[in-house]
Chains A and B, each alone.
Chain A
């Protein structure tokens, strides 16, 4: 099956290369070109499978490298030419690691190059083994590499320049001009079709990847218009072709506007300015000087920065600041707490603990006695507040673990309206560690 298909593809005349194959009377409307590119796409899909299996299609850069190596081998060889085996041998050292240029790949590429005439027999006779290479395919390889790297925009400019020179040439004929116009029409139609398709139907990532179709579209159109103007001036009878070119240019302009609008709309949502690759923005931001960056704002008047600091703002800012360590004063703490934490001998200021004072109080009250009724103590005081104070201190004595005394309350209540403390419970203050 594959052989029959290959035979179908075999005669080169059957295939229609995209550009120049547009016949003189070909339909140059959008539909016509769409149909044509559609057919081409199907052909390409059919043959691509077979060609890829044979290694005849350039599917990755290795193949280009192999082509270059083959042509470089011929360049080294001089006028004698090389046989296939010599070429394979010469290419082997070039494929450094992993045998990238294995002999089968080189042999296949050799056949492919010979098939389209890049390599010809030295003498055209059967079984001639020596071949030599033409220079044009190598130029084409360089061209292909540039296309792959830069998207072909520069080539398009060169093509337009060449067409412009061509039609200005004094010896140019009507047919030259017509052919020129046709090439331009095809180029712009194809670009417009691709862009329009991308802009209307493709995911935006794909559109962004193909954004180079948009680059410099104004200058491209301008250059094409120049060619158009020259042709229309010199050969007014080519006005039909010129009209076609004008419509093609308009179609390209519309398509790029639509694509740019879609990209900008998308960028508005994601802030990804995808018209240029990210690296271009980064490089620009890093390398541009302040003047260039500020140039973006040329012609725009902005208010000077004029924040207003009211005194209230200043005060509240100061108040909200956490005070620095040197000015920080420790907050007042309950004395008993501080004593319990035991700051130790380093604790300065008033005694943090009142154990000594309480112990002195106990010694003074009890003297040599083992215990003492609280009522006796209360009867000695002058008034109620003094009695209350005394009771408070006795309670402190009772609760302090380091003071060897306690209060023991008994039943009964003494009521005496004349006493400084009218209502008082019976109880005794006594030592817990025996008489001092």
Chain B
């Protein structure tokens, strides 16, 4: 309520508002962003993703612990399975942080996803495409539809080290991704 708002605070608040309204932001590397935003460098250094990572106690998991419903996802199970498949395919070095990961072919992801969602071909393709679009829209996965390649979205950097342990175990149990067949 001060008459003369602190300029830096205002900038930070604006950046946080932008990130909240637009999801993870892709900005030039030299952009001076507000405080508290996680900066994720693109592998080729051409851009930086700004991601709001709340502390553990206030993160996405907190809602579940409190028994509150978070943002709703359509087809939550299929979407989660596809994300798991992407994790299996893109997280090639399980000892490193998931971001940036390595790109994987869409066919490879589909092959892993098929182990958990085996249906007739049309329904399978539809489920996979819908799931990857949802994940792309929310920044979990970056999906290049034309090149048929998938890689991690910036939001995976929000997983905590404890989460990563669970994910490593999960990856170990999942089927081996086949060699990238490009367009299987």
Interface residue ranges, A against B (CB under 8 Å): 301-315, 317-318, 320-327
Given contacts A303-B21, A307-B138, A318-B81, 9 further A-B contacts (CB under 8 A): A306-B23, A308-B63, A308-B64, A309-B80, A309-B140, A312-B166, A314-B84, A317-B77, A325-B118
How far is B115's CA from A45's CA once the two chains are assembled, in angstroms? 77
Return the contact of A317 from the options B64, B76, B134 (Cβ within 8 A): B76
Question: Which one of A314, A320, A327 contacts B87 once the chains associate, using CB atoms below 8 Å?
Answer: A314
Complex CA distance for A314 and B155, rounded to whole angstroms:
15
B84 near A317: Cβ-Cβ < 8 Å: yes
* 9 contacting pairs across A/B (C-beta < 8 A): A305-B138, A308-B60, A309-B140, A311-B159, A314-B84, A314-B167, A320-B77, A324-B117, A327-B115
Known: A306-B71, A311-B167. A301 touches B21 (CB 8 A): yes
| Contact B71–A324 (Cβ < 8 Å) | no
Bound CA–CA A326/B117 (angstroms): 12
- Please measure, in the bound complex, the distance between the C-alpha atom of A311 and the C-alpha atom of B63, giving whole angstroms: 14
Q: How far is the CA of A251 from the CA of B168 in the complex (A)?
A: 73
Residues of chain B within 8 A of A310, CB atoms compared: 60-61, 64, 163
Selected contact of B71 from candidates A307, A315, A317, A320, CB within 8 Å: A307
- Candidates B63, B76, B138, B159; contact of A304 at CB < 8 Å: B138
- The residues of B that contact A313 with a CB separation of less than 8 Å are 76, 80
Given contacts A303-B20, A305-B23, A312-B166, contact A321 B77 (CB under 8 A): yes
Q: Which residues of B come within 8 Å of A, CB atoms?
A: 19-23, 59-61, 63-64, 70-73, 76-81, 83-84, 87, 114-118, 134, 137-140, 155, 159, 163-164, 166-167, 170, 173-175
Q: Which residue of A lies closest to B62 (CB)?
A: A308
Q: B23, A304: Cβ atoms under 8 Å?
A: yes
Chain A residues within 8 Å of B155, by CB: 306
Q: Measured between C-beta atoms, what is the minimum distance from B15 to chain A in Å?
A: 14
Q: Choose among A301, A305, A310, A312 the residue with the greatest number of B CB atoms under 10 Å from its CB.
A: A310
A324–B118 alpha-carbon span in the complex (Å): 5
Least distance between B125 CB and chain A CB atoms (Å):
15
Known: A314-B80, A317-B84, A318-B170. A308 touches B23 (CB 8 A): no
Nearest CB of chain A from residue B32's CB, rounded to whole Å = 22
Which residue of chain A has its CB nearest to the CB of B77? A317
Q: Which residues of the other chain, B, contact A303 by a CB distance below 8 angstroms?
A: 20-21, 71
> In the complex, A320→B164 CA distance in Å?
21
User: Complex formed: what's the CA distance from A312 to B80 in Å?
Assistant: 10
Q: Contact partner of A311 among B20, B23, B115, B163, CB < 8 A?
A: B163
A302 and B83 in contact, given A311-B159, A314-B167, A324-B115 (Cβ under 8 angstroms)? no
A323 CA to B138 CA in the complex, in Å? Answer: 27
Q: Which residue of A lies closest to B114 (CB)?
A: A324
In angstroms, Cα B78 to Cα A325, docked, is 18
Q: Are B115 and A315 in contact (CB under 8 A)?
A: no
- Report if A307-B72 is in contact (Cβ < 8 Å); known contacts: A314-B170, A321-B81: yes
Residues of B within 8 A of A304 (CB): 19-23, 138-139
Q: How far is the CA of A318 from the CA of B88 in the complex (A)?
A: 12
Residues in A with CB closer than 8 Å to B20 are: 303-304
| Chain B residues within 8 Å of A326, by CB | 115
Question: Distance (Å) between the CB of A304 and the closest chain B CB?
Answer: 3
In the complex formed, the residue of A with least CB distance to B84 is A314
Give bound CA distance, A321 to B82, whole Å: 11
Separation in Å of the A73 CB from the closest CB of chain B? Answer: 63
Task: Return the 3 tightest CB-CB contacts between A and B, nearest first.
Answer: A308-B60, A304-B23, A317-B80
A302 touches B21 (CB 8 A): yes
| Chain B residue at minimum C-beta to C-beta distance from A307 | B73
B88 to chain A, nearest CB (A): 10
Contact present for A324 and B22 (CB under 8 Å): no
Q: Tell me, in angstroms, the Cα distance from A310 to B156 when the chains sit together.
A: 10
Query: Whose C-beta in chain A lies nearest to the C-beta of B61?
Result: A310
Q: Which of A309, A322, A326 has the most CB of B within 10 A?
A: A309
Contacts of A312 in B (CB 8 A): 166
B167 touches A305 (CB 8 A): no
Using CB atoms, name the residue of chain A closest to B162: A311
Tell me the minimal C-beta distance from A312 to chain B in angstroms. Answer: 7
Q: For B117, list chain A residues within 8 Å (CB).
A: 321, 324
**Bound form: Cα–Cα A302–B117 in Å:** 32
Chain A residues whose C-beta falls within 8 Å of the C-beta of B71 in the assembled complex: 303, 305-308
> What's the least CB distance linking A287 to chain B, in Å?
25
**Complex Cα gap A320–B75 (Å):** 13
A325 / chain B contacts, CB cutoff of 8 Å: 118
By beta carbon, the residue of chain B nearest A320 is B77
Distance from A311 Cβ to chain B, minimum over Cβ atoms (Å): 4
Taking each of B71, B134, B164, which has the highest tally of chain A beta carbons within 10 Å of its own beta carbon?
A: B71
Residues of A within 8 A of B114 (CB): 324
B140 to chain A, nearest CB (A): 7
Are B166 and A315 in contact (CB-based, < 8 A)? yes
Q: Which residues of A contact B78 (CB under 8 A)?
A: 317
Residue contact A318 to B70, C-beta cutoff 8 Å: no
A314 to B164, CA, bound (A): 12
B60 proximity list for chain A (CB < 8 A): 306, 308-310
> Which listed residue, B19, B61, B116, B139, touches A321 by the CB 8 Å rule?
B116
The residue in chain A whose Cβ has the minimal distance to the Cβ of B167 is A311
How far is A307 from B61 in the complex, measured between Cα atoms in Å? 11
Known: A318-B116, A321-B117, A324-B115. A305 touches B137 (CB 8 A): yes
| Chain B residues within an 8 Å CB radius of A311 | 159, 163-164, 166-167, 170
Kindly list chain B residues whose C-beta atoms are within 8 Å of the C-beta of A306. Answer: 23, 60, 71, 138-139, 155
Complex-state Cα separation, A126 to B64, whole angstroms: 98
